[in-house]
Structure 1
Amino acid sequence: MSMLPNARDQPAEAAKPRLFDNADLDKMAMQFVGDMHRYRENVIIPRNMGPVKIKTNEEKLIETAVESCGFKCAMACVMGYGLGAALGLFSASVNPSMADPFANEKKQTAREVFREMRATTHSYAKNFALIGAVFSVVECTIESKRGVTDWKNGTYAGGITGGLIGLRAGIKAGVIGGLGFAAFSTAIDYYMHSR
Structure 2
Amino acid sequence: MASSNPETESNNGSSIAKEPEKPQIEAFRMPTMEEMRAQEVWNNCAVRSVASGVMGGGLGLMMGMFLGALDNPIMQEEMTGRQQFMYTMRQMGQRSWSSAKAFAVMGLIFSAAECVVEKARAKHDTTNTVVAGCVTGGTISAKGGPKAACAGCAGFAAFSVLIEKFLDRHT
TM-score, with length taken from structure 2: 0.75
For the Cα contact (< 8 Å) 2:125–2:170, is it kept in 1? no
Is residue 148 of structure 1 aligned with residue 120 of structure 2? no
Partner of 2:40: 64
Counterpart for residue 168 of structure 1? 143
Higher normalized contact order (CA 8 Å, seq sep 6+, divided by chain length): 2
Instruction: Provide the aligned C-alpha RMSD in A.
Output: 2.1
Q: Distance in 1 between matches of 2:113 and 2:61?
A: 23
Q: CA deviation at 1:139?
A: 1.3
Q: Percent identity?
A: 32
Task: Give the corresponding residue for 1:97.
Answer: 73
Deviation at 1:83, TM superposition (A): 1.1
Residue 99 (structure 2) aligned to one of 109, 124, 129: 124
Q: Which digits, 9 at most, give the CA deviation of each residue in 1:122-174, with x for residues without a partner?
A: 11111100111111111122122222221111110101110111221222221
CA–CA distance in 2 between the matches of 1:137 and 1:183?
18
Cα distance in 2, alignment partners of residues 190 and 50 from structure 1: 32
Gaps of 5+ in 1: 1-48
Q: Which moved more, 1:167-176 or 1:73-82?
A: 167-176
Instruction: Specify the alignment match of 1:76 in structure 2.
Output: 52
Which structure has the larger Rg?
1
Deviation of 1:176 after TM superposition, in Å, equals 1.4
Distance 1:87 1:56 in 2: 39
CA distance in 1, matches of 2:144, 2:35: 46
Inter-partner Cα distance in structure 1 for 2:102 and 2:87: 23
Cα deviation per residue 1:23-58 (whole Å; 9 max; x = unaligned)? xxxxxxxxxxxxxxxxxxxxxxxxxx8542111111
The match for 1:32 is none
* Cα deviation, residue 98, structure 1: 3.9
Distance between the aligned counterparts of 1:68 and 1:109, measured in 2? Answer: 47
Instruction: Tell me whether 109-118 or 136-145 shows the greater mean CA deviation.
Output: 109-118
Partner amino acid for 2:33?
Answer: N
Spell out the pairing of 1:37-56 with structure 2 (5 A cutoff): 50-56=26-32
**AA matched with 2:28:** V
Q: CA deviation at 1:96?
A: 3.0
CA distance in 1, matches of 2:76, 2:38: 57
Distance in 2 (CA, whole Å) between partners of 1:63 and 1:94 is: 42
- Count residues with an aligned counterpart: 144
For residues 187 and 86 of structure 1, what CA distance do their matches in structure 2 show?
24
CA drift at 1:95: 2.3
